Amino acid sequence: DFGFNTGDPYRTFERQLLAWEPAVGFPFNGYSLPDTPTEVAASCWWDHLMVGVHRDALEGLLPYWTGFDSESWWFPQRAVTVLASAWYPHHRLQLNSVAAMNTQHRWNPAMGDVDWARVNAWV
């Protein structure tokens, strides 16, 4: 827990956000934990299940844009991820004292083939 554990995962997450003040902070999601566990790790991609956005980054990153929702619910997440990577390249932190895992993560066949180039071009 790297000394941040409060007994409540939400308060522990909040405590790490306040200590590190990343533009975007997110818990460990079951993927990409460094071989030697560290308190934080810079990460380019994350699951948007649980995300903390610094108040100075809010205007550029939120709210999630819903214009592509009929095509894929992943598109708004992709837009935020790409923008955060461009605007805050050294301030996207995975906070490893808390884990949040989507055990039902799966592809929705009703979405068909996702045109990532379309959302990338929009961003």
pLDDT given at position 122? 84
pLDDT of 57 reads: 97
Helix (H) or strand (E) holding 60: helix 58-61
Q: Tokens in use for 15?
A: 């405590």
Q: Is the peptide bond preceding residue 63 cis, with omega within 30 degrees of 0? A: yes
Question: Splitting the chain (123 residues) into consecutive groups of 10 residues, what average pLDDT does each group show?
Answer: 72 93 92 74 87 96 88 86 93 90 72 77 84
Q: What is the pLDDT of residue 61?
A: 95
CA-based angle 116:53:82, to the nearest 5? Answer: 20
Inter-CA distances, 65 with 72, 76, 97, 101, Å: 12, 6, 30, 23
**Res 29: pLDDT:** 83
Q: Which two tokens stand for residue 1?
A: 């827990």
How many C-beta neighbours within 10 Å does residue 42 have? 11
The reported pTM is 0.83
Our measurement of the distance from residue 111's CA atom to the centroid of its chain's CA atoms, rounded to an integer in Å, reads: 22
Do residues 52 and 26 touch, judged by C-beta distance below 8 A? yes
